[in-house]
């Protein structure tokens, strides 16, 4: 007898991990899903943003990103998805994502540009229902024009269960523009 449980789409139900809220996104999800002009995306090895974190109490890693769009841009955009497990684009039925603990109402993070004026969009979720496994929710945050100072952003989540699994815990994307450098810090799923 097979004890594996499948959803209607054929995706294996995730096994609860027993996590609690709040939790730091990069304690579960990995920024492994590169899309668009992937050869033109650079992530700095330093996970402290050169020591210039958003606050003294910031949790998790601080990310420094560069998107140097080629001229002309090949795909016209770049994006990075924090995925669970690593490199999960929803194509494998046995990789349904991370079951978010109950009570999540928002994802909070800090971002800034190197010089200000950088245009970047942020979201939670990306993998749609046409995949074998999909994100429980997909919630975009409107396009943001970053400043050179840290700003706290919040993505409000709908009141629902995320127990079916979230593949993409966080994502940024940017349309082709002049080379942009920006920072993201303290990404947390919160109550």
| pLDDT tens-digit series, residues 99-147 | 999 999 999 999 999 999 999 999 999 999 889 999 999 999 999 999 9
Write the pLDDT tens digit of every residue in 141-169: 999 999 999 999 999 999 988 888 999 99
In a domain, 6, yes or no: no
In a domain, 46, yes or no: yes
Write the pLDDT tens digit of every residue in 61-76: 999 999 998 877 789 9
Q: Quote the pLDDT of residue 1.
A: 31
Q: Quote the pLDDT of residue 22.
A: 95
Q: Quote the pLDDT of residue 2.
A: 36
In a domain, 14, yes or no: no
Cβ atoms of 113 and 181 closer than 8 Å: yes
In a domain, 8, yes or no: no
In a domain, 2, yes or no: no
Q: How far apart are the first and last CA of the chain?
A: 39
Query: Residue 122's domain spans which residues?
Result: 23-190
Cis, peptide link before residue 85, omega less than 30° from 0: yes
Residues of the chain above pLDDT 70, percent: 92
In a domain, 86, yes or no: yes
How is residue 9 annotated by DSSP? T
pTM for the full predicted model:
0.92
Q: Quote the pLDDT of residue 152.
A: 98
Cβ atoms of 64 and 183 closer than 8 Å: yes
Largest CA distance in the chain: 60
In a domain, 51, yes or no: yes
Reported as half-sphere exposure (CB side, CA atoms, 13 A), residue 65 has a value of 30
Task: Give the count of domains, the chain.
Answer: 1
Cβ atoms of 152 and 108 closer than 8 Å: yes
Q: Bridge-partner residues for 31, per DSSP?
A: 82
Helices (H) and strands (E) in the chain, counts: 0, 11
Q: Quote the pLDDT of residue 163.
A: 81
In a domain, 127, yes or no: yes
Query: Is the alpha carbon torsion for 160, 163, 168, 170 positive or negative?
Result: positive
CATH for 124: 2.60.120.260
């Amino acid at each position: 007898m097979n004890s594996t449980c499948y959803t209607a789409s054929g995706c294996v139900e995730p096994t609860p991990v027993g996590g609690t809220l709040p939790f730091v996104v990069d304690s579960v999800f990995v920024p492994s899903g590169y899309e668009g002009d992937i050869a033109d995306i650079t992530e700095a090895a330093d996970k402290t943003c050169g020591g210039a974190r958003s606050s003294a109490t910031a949790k998790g890693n601080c990310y420094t990103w560069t998107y140097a769009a080629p001229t002309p841009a090949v795909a016209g955009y770049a994006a990075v998805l924090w995925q669970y497990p690593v490199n999960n684009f929803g194509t494998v039925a046995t990789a349904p994502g991370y079951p978010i603990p109950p009570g999540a109402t928002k994802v909070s993070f800090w971002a800034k540009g190197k010089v200000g004026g950088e245009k970047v969009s942020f979201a939670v979720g990306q993998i749609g229902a046409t995949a074998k496994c999909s994100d429980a929710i997909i919630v975009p945050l409107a396009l943001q024009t970053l400043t050179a100072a840290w700003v706290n952003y919040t993505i409000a989540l709908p009141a629902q269960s995320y127990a079916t699994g979230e593949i993409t815990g966080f994502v940024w994307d940017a349309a082709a523009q002049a080379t942009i450098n920006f920072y993201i810090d303290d990404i947390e799923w919160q109550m």
